[in-house]
Amino acid sequence: MITWLLLVSLFCNSAQDRNLKDDGVFRCGPQDITVKTSDHAILLTWQDDPSCMSVHDMLTYEMEVLRADKLVHYDEVAVTTDQIGSTHSWTWSPHLALECAPLALKLRSRAENRTSQWKWEHIIPAGYIHSDSPQVYPRDKVFQVGSKATFCCVLPMGQVLEKLYLSGQSSSDWNISRISNHTYVFTVDLNKASTTSCTDIICETKTADNGACAYIGYPPADRDLCCETRDFQSVECLWTVGRNTHLAIKSPTSYQLLQSNCTEGSSGRCSHKVRVDFGERNWTLTARNQLATVKLTDRADLTKRVHMFAPREVKVSSVNASNARLDWKWAMQTYDKLDIKCQLNISDGETHLVRGRNGVGLNFAVLNDLIPNWTYKVMIRCGTSEHFWKWSEWSSSVDFHTIGDVPDALDIWMHVKGSQTIITWKVPLANQSHGDIIDYEIIWAPTSERCQKSRVLHPQNSFVLSLDATKEYAVSVTASNEYGNSSPSTITIPNLNTGSVLVKSSRTPGSNGGFNLSWSASPIASCGYIVDWCPTKGPYVIDWLRVPPSETSVRIFSKNLREGVRYLLSIHGCTHGAPVLLEKIEGYVKEKLIQDGLFQTLKWEQRDMDVEVSWDPVALQDQSTFIQGYILYYRDNNSRVMNISTDNPQATSLTATNLQINSYTFTVKANTTVGQCGATSITVTLNSLTDNLINAIGITLATIFVLLCLIVILCYRNWEWIKMKVYPPIPMPVLKDKWMTSLTKQSCRPVFVEMGHHNEAELMAIPELHCKSEAPVKDCVDPGNVFSQTTMYFNKPVENLTTHSTIAPCQLPLLPPPLSSSLVKDGHLNPSFNLTSTDSLETSSIGYQPQRQERQLEEAPENPLPCVLTYIVLPQ
């Protein structure tokens, strides 16, 4: 029986072998072959020949891909015995685009070391080499930065390649090769992402050019997924979006949360409606583009991750001077049962203050310690107290204005300037005045004495007092507005004549637009220290700073500090009584070189062969740096420069010695901590000692001449006045026929001729007779005045003169000195001499009388003048 079975089996196998192989050909192979191309890939499908059912072992299909008769790819597909009879497929994505060149596919089967015949399939690109311009492939493909890409250029018939390149990429490593008569390929490293929409691949011939677009970018790189809930009815996830993929146009990244699309995924936020229950679970986000897919997972219990909505309908219900009530509502009713804590951001325009409030379903808050008469802006944000996750967004802001109040107490200080004390205070800021300041009241008084008051209007912030330097004063200042007066601020003015030792002044350098001061702690400074500063010259703008007792250093900075201005800084110890001066310091915020021409009154003086150059003391307002001394440079015509200097900053002169007779240029400079500056020059020509003597004599003579000229001019201009004082005018006598007979009606002032032995020249000096109308004279005219005012004139010669006399009522004075020689000639009167008088005297047997003129007689008064006769001694 077994034998028969073996024989039947051998017969069947031999029959199958005859079916598989007929005349030596293996008949099991592919049939119904189809080829599809899509998205730069080849899909090949086929079925088995019915004869393959007799194959007992594994059946293998071999695939070969040829381009331009060259094998470019080989692959195999294994088919198990249970898969024989079904449809088989094979997919291949070539590194070169299918449009670059025709492809030939060869497929055959192999089993039991026997193979079937090749079945051929051809893939020919549409329009291959029939275009009018070069064609570049692949087109609009996405590449990852850092990868390699192969591009081809298919040329039209009869054209030759000129250039094939990738725009914006270096061509140093490109390898261009030719794979057919019409196709060129090159492979490039894509190390740079597309900067705009894509990167161009350009192919040029002599007659035309064309190109394709390549999108070079990155796969998604999102991270840090975190999910939360806001209303317990949905989940909201946040994550960090990765770097820019540069594929937003061709392949933007798409997002899915719990397999639901996210419309706002590119912003790193996505929400999904889902009921939030207690307990942890996974929340998954998927991000993908054509290059890769990224999955992010967050495991959390969202009941502990509540991100509340911001409060809404925030309003102020009541406002007072220093407090206000704030109310708001919630967007979700579920918040009414939550334990909530809130933060209130209170802004006064300059500062921000955050205050906290807690409570279940909290929906109001009271704001305390507000500034009166001030505008505030308030915002609110809240979060859960238990399992606090994060704050909500800030609510919309609400503005309100508090009611005004009395001003705050003033910050007052003092400054002693000579015999005056300046009381000054800082003008209250808007947040200190609590309303518009009207005025200030100053009250001062010595200890235990009646006080004095005064008011100054705003915005003045100082008041000058002239106090008794031997007494201690208490001064208080208050500010007032429409709501009332501030609390008084008091300062004690110390006794300025205590005889205390003066505090010496030191110097300090400025630093970064201010001063850094430090001092030793003082036990008397029980309430701290006061540091004040003001410029040493110019407008006294006083400023000060209060320092607590625990600090002994301070940084002084103010927008009013100026470079090149010397400031006086004082450190006072604050006590319960008067402040005590501890230190005085001088300094500049920044020292500056003094400009040239500092010494405006430069003078010089030669002493023998030395020259002293002097100047006025330099005013403090002209010193933009500390002066440490002065230097005098002098240069002669030979350009030899010499100098002398002094280290005394108070000096006002320097002397150059042992000079030569020459011209010198003297230049004075100030030596300061920042260098030499303030140069001022004069030019001097030195004279010899003889020249100096001559110059001195000439100056003396010139001075005398000028004085004499002045005297002559003054005398000439005032000659009439001098004549009146030295030689007053003598009035003309009024004469009549009987001028010697009427003694009772007129008075005369006679001139007496001294009786004695005199020559003719001495006796002929007869003065003129002065007469004036007056009342009758009972007594004699004052003899002392007779000579000076009475003169008699003669203009005719007298040959024989005898002595005649008339009795006078009193003694007569002596005659004046004798006449001059011009009047007397050869012992007789000179008839040619013309006297000043127009009248002439004639002699007669009874004596002599003046000569009469008709005009004078007509003008003479009717009453004759009383005259006093004189004794006239004439030569015999």
pLDDT at 734: 60
Which segments in the chain show pLDDT lower than 50? 1-23, 499-500, 738-876
Which three-class secondary structure string do you get for 677-708?
A: EEEEEEEEECCCHHHHHHHHHHHHHHHHHHHH
pLDDT at 388: 92
352 neighbors 394 (Cβ within 8 angstroms): no
CA dihedral sign of residues 163, 165, 169, 171: negative
pLDDT at 131: 83
Q: How far apart are CA 727 and CA 712, in angstroms?
A: 18
646 neighbors 612 (Cβ within 8 angstroms): no
The string of pLDDT tens digits covering residues 265-313 is 999 999 999 988 888 999 999 999 999 999 999 999 998 999 999 999 9
Paired with 72 in beta bridges are none
Q: Express the helix, strand and coil content of the chain in percent, nearest 5 each.
A: 10, 40, 45
Q: How far apart are CA 635 and CA 667, in angstroms?
A: 9
pLDDT at 215: 93
Paired with 137 in beta bridges are 152
pLDDT at 766: 40
Residues 6+ positions from 148 with CB-CB distance below 8 Å: 187, 188, 189, 190
Select from 127, 104, 102, 124 the least CA-distant residue to 180: 102
pLDDT at 228: 94
46 neighbors 33 (Cβ within 8 angstroms): yes
Both tokens of residue 746?
A: 């007129």
pTM exceeding 0.75: no
**Terminal C-alpha separation, the chain:** 238
Give the three-class secondary structure for 337: helix
Paired with 404 in beta bridges are none
258 neighbors 272 (Cβ within 8 angstroms): yes
The DSSP secondary-structure symbol of 472 reads -
